Chains A and B, each alone.
Chain A
Amino acid sequence: MKDSRISSTRTKYVLPALGALAGLSALLSLCLGAVSLAPGEVLGALLGTGSGPAAQIVLYARVPRTCGCLLAGASLAMSGTVIQGVLGNPLAAPNVIGVNAGAGLCTALCAALWPAWTAALPFAAFLGALGGVLLVLAIGARTGASKMTLVLAGVAVSGMFSAGIDAVLAFFPDALNGYTDFRVGGVANLSMSRVAPAFWVILAASFLALSLAGEMDVLLLGEEAARSLGLPARRLRLVLLALAAALAGAAVSFAGLLGFVGLIAPHMARRLAGEDSSARLLLAAALGGAALLTLCDILARTLFAPYELPAGVALSLLGGPFFLWLLLRQRRGGGRGHA
């Protein structure tokens, strides 16, 4: 295979290593918490041979929570990777450019107006996320689309959407009942029935995004080069952004406004897996994002046990400084990659 010659030995081990890390963090997430369980107990519960409170905890609290973490982390990370690539902007991420807030607003609206339709939530969130993306894109196109402008437009759009969420909650205080940590993002009190619809959306969207990885590679060469290679660049850009919106929206629909996974994970993935292949980059970001969110959630619920913080708090404490560092690096003109 010629491909092995392209990828250095280091990048070859990145995916298995990240996969192992995600698996390990999932195992830890099943074991640790207000009540710590031995791996044996967890395994027993999973296989249906366990009984008693341990099995109850595993099946009804830890499994949905862990699945939620892995799923939300992976899909937000892939969404961030696509958005950063397509916009050519390393500062962009679903939470930065208003995608998460848009998804949040539509989730809140849908939950308020049609409380019984939980399966519709990911789709409502998708529409909101898409609205956020297109709004920011339109503002960016109008103002000349510098990287900073896009980020600032995202701040403005996020602010408006957040106000919308607050307004919905003022009229329907019970709309997001069960979403204890919606504003900051969290995965406590998840049930499988809430994760399942989002799972299908995420599965389909990530499959499509991966199948378009070759196109994404070519798009990263710049619009003119991409078009001269026969790629319908504008259409593809919209398709990819719609997929990113679906991924982020589905995650928001059950995990709330989780920030920064979509920002940190793609940067980590680029460092580790290189930028030669968007497919590898997407997979690395997904695995890394899943591990990152799961670990953040474990930290958030064990650090001050028996008190639990929402996962989003730990994530923002990590992600905020990281974003500032990125901003400073941009100012110094040290932005790597598609600068």
Chain B
Amino acid sequence: MLEVRNLAAGYPGRTVLEGVTLAVRPGRVLALLGPNGCGKSTLLRTMPGLLPPLGGEILLDGRPLGDYSPRQAAQRVAYLPQSRTAPSITARRMVLHGRFPYLSYPRRYRREDHDAVDRALAAADALDLEDRPLPELSGGQRQKVYLAMALAQETETVLMDEPTTYLDIRHQLETLALVRRLAAEGRGVALVLHDLCLALASADDVAVLGEGRLLALGGPEEIYQGGILARAMGISLERTAGPEGWRYACRLPEEE
């Protein structure tokens, strides 16, 4: 389990977030929500140690993250960045790189690594893409490959920065269905999402960030009832009962 206690995140000389305490629990999906520039991505990058924390603690399975070597940490936490480059390699090769933390010098990919890649490609529904060069793939297909790479890493915790951005609605739903499956397998997933309705409908826990801190942390129901999310985003948020649970709708607030 990856957790942060009283974390301050940001860049040297510019603290973006302070006093954040939350955990990515196994079997649960945590959505990080908040307006642009509130520090969602900064927090997500600080949690696996890609940005040095400005204060507070990061604990991985109860021990400080610093106790782990970068390789050991990468065997426990996968991180899917927001900016996804497309080097001129095949999809399979890309996914194979997810096995990197398990290899020691000099790196030779083993049978079990290829098996893990096959499983990851299948789980991300990307088996048919494996021989295609990455630059030729569409945004949605590339996203599947990136997801497969994170899956091949076989970590208990998966962090995703805006995994649904630039995807059409079908791919967005597919991505979130995959996220739910990961949680069902017992992994902990934290993701930054822009679509509040999607987030409230599919996350187990919601963290609302804003004003340089963690405004609220709780289940979608609690967050919705508290009205904090709507205030943080500067919108009005409503819901109606649908056949498969609540349906959320956002709109601009009424002029007062």
Residues of A within 8 A of B (CB): 2-3, 5-6, 211-215, 217-218, 220-222, 224-225, 227-232, 270, 274-277, 336-338
Q: Are A337 and B87 in contact (CB under 8 A)?
A: yes
Q: Are A229 and B81 in contact (CB under 8 A)?
A: no
Closest chain-B Cβ to A277's Cβ sits at a distance in Å of: 7
Closest chain-A Cβ to B211's Cβ sits at a distance in Å of: 27
* B74 beta carbon closer than 8 Å to chain A: yes
Q: Which residue of A lies closest to B113 (CB)?
A: A2
- Residues of chain B with a CB closer than 8 A to A270's CB: 88
Q: Are A218 and B93 in contact (CB under 8 A)?
A: no
Q: Are B89 and A275 in contact (CB under 8 A)?
A: yes
Q: Are B107 and A214 in contact (CB under 8 A)?
A: yes
Q: Which of B85-133 contact A (CB under 8 A)?
A: 85, 87-90, 92-94, 97-98, 100-101, 103, 105-109, 114, 131
**How far, in angstroms, from A277 to B107 measured CA to CA in the complex?**
12
Q: Are A229 and B101 in contact (CB under 8 A)?
A: yes
* B233 beta carbon closer than 8 Å to chain A: no
* B173 beta carbon closer than 8 Å to chain A: no
* B202 beta carbon closer than 8 Å to chain A: no
Q: Are B50 and A221 in contact (CB under 8 A)?
A: no
Q: Are B92 and A6 in contact (CB under 8 A)?
A: yes
Interface size class of B (residues with CB under 8 A): 35 or more
Q: Are B70 and A231 in contact (CB under 8 A)?
A: yes
- Residues of chain B with a CB closer than 8 A to A212's CB: 106
| B69, B73, B88: the one within 8 Å of A274 (CB) | B88
Q: Which residue of A lies closest to B92 (CB)?
A: A6
- Residues of chain B with a CB closer than 8 A to A232's CB: 70
**How far, in angstroms, from A336 to B134 measured CA to CA in the complex?**
12
5 contacts between A and B (CB under 8 A): A2-B114, A217-B89, A217-B97, A220-B89, A277-B93
Closest chain-B Cβ to A259's Cβ sits at a distance in Å of: 26
Q: Are A228 and B88 in contact (CB under 8 A)?
A: no
Q: Which of B65-80 contact A (CB under 8 A)?
A: 69-75, 78-79
Q: Which residue of B lies closest to A229 (CB)?
A: B100
| A214, A274, A336: the one within 8 Å of B106 (CB) | A214
* B48 beta carbon closer than 8 Å to chain A: yes
| B70, B85, B105: the one within 8 Å of A211 (CB) | B105
Closest chain-B Cβ to A84's Cβ sits at a distance in Å of: 12
* B143 beta carbon closer than 8 Å to chain A: no
Asked if A276 meets B81 with Cβ closer than 8 Å, knowing A211-B106, A227-B50, A232-B70, the reply is no
Asked if A6 meets B50 with Cβ closer than 8 Å, knowing A274-B88, A338-B85, the reply is no
- Residues of chain B with a CB closer than 8 A to A276's CB: 89-90, 93
Considering the complex of A and B, which 6 residue pairs feature the smallest CB-CB distances, nearest first? A214-B107, A230-B74, A230-B71, A228-B79, A230-B101, A230-B70
**How far, in angstroms, from A227 to B52 measured CA to CA in the complex?**
12
- Residues of chain A with a CB closer than 8 A to B105's CB: 211
Q: Are B85 and A222 in contact (CB under 8 A)?
A: yes
Closest chain-A Cβ to B52's Cβ sits at a distance in Å of: 12
Q: Which of B188-231 contact A (CB under 8 A)?
A: none
Q: Are B88 and A221 in contact (CB under 8 A)?
A: no
**How far, in angstroms, from A336 to B89 measured CA to CA in the complex?**
12
* B153 beta carbon closer than 8 Å to chain A: yes
Q: Which residue of A lies closest to B75 (CB)?
A: A230
Closest chain-A Cβ to B152's Cβ sits at a distance in Å of: 10
Q: Which residue of B lies closest to A211 (CB)?
A: B106
Q: Which residue of A lies closest to B115 (CB)?
A: A2
- Residues of chain B with a CB closer than 8 A to A220's CB: 87, 89
Q: Which residue of B lies closest to A224 (CB)?
A: B81
Q: Are B97 and A229 in contact (CB under 8 A)?
A: yes
Q: Are B88 and A218 in contact (CB under 8 A)?
A: no
- Residues of chain B with a CB closer than 8 A to A337's CB: 87-88
Q: Which residue of A lies closest to B100 (CB)?
A: A229
Q: Are A275 and B70 in contact (CB under 8 A)?
A: no
Closest chain-B Cβ to A46's Cβ sits at a distance in Å of: 34
Q: Which residue of A lies closest to B91 (CB)?
A: A6
**How far, in angstroms, from A212 to B81 measured CA to CA in the complex?**
24
**How far, in angstroms, from A215 to B50 measured CA to CA in the complex?**
18
Q: Are B131 and A6 in contact (CB under 8 A)?
A: yes
**How far, in angstroms, from A5 to B132 measured CA to CA in the complex?**
12
Asked if A230 meets B73 with Cβ closer than 8 Å, knowing A221-B87, A337-B88, the reply is yes
- Residues of chain A with a CB closer than 8 A to B70's CB: 227, 230-232
Q: Are A5 and B106 in contact (CB under 8 A)?
A: no
Q: Which residue of A lies closest to B70 (CB)?
A: A230
Q: Which residue of B lies closest to A1 (CB)?
A: B114
Q: Which residue of A lies closest to B71 (CB)?
A: A230
Closest chain-A Cβ to B109's Cβ sits at a distance in Å of: 8
Interface-central residue, A211, A213, A225, A228, by most chain B CB under 10 Å: A228
Q: Which residue of B lies closest to A217 (CB)?
A: B97
Q: Are A214 and B100 in contact (CB under 8 A)?
A: yes
Supply 13 further A-B pairs (C-beta < 8 A) apart from A230-B69, A230-B101. Answer: A2-B114, A214-B100, A214-B106, A217-B93, A217-B97, A218-B97, A221-B97, A222-B85, A224-B81, A225-B85, A227-B70, A274-B88, A277-B93
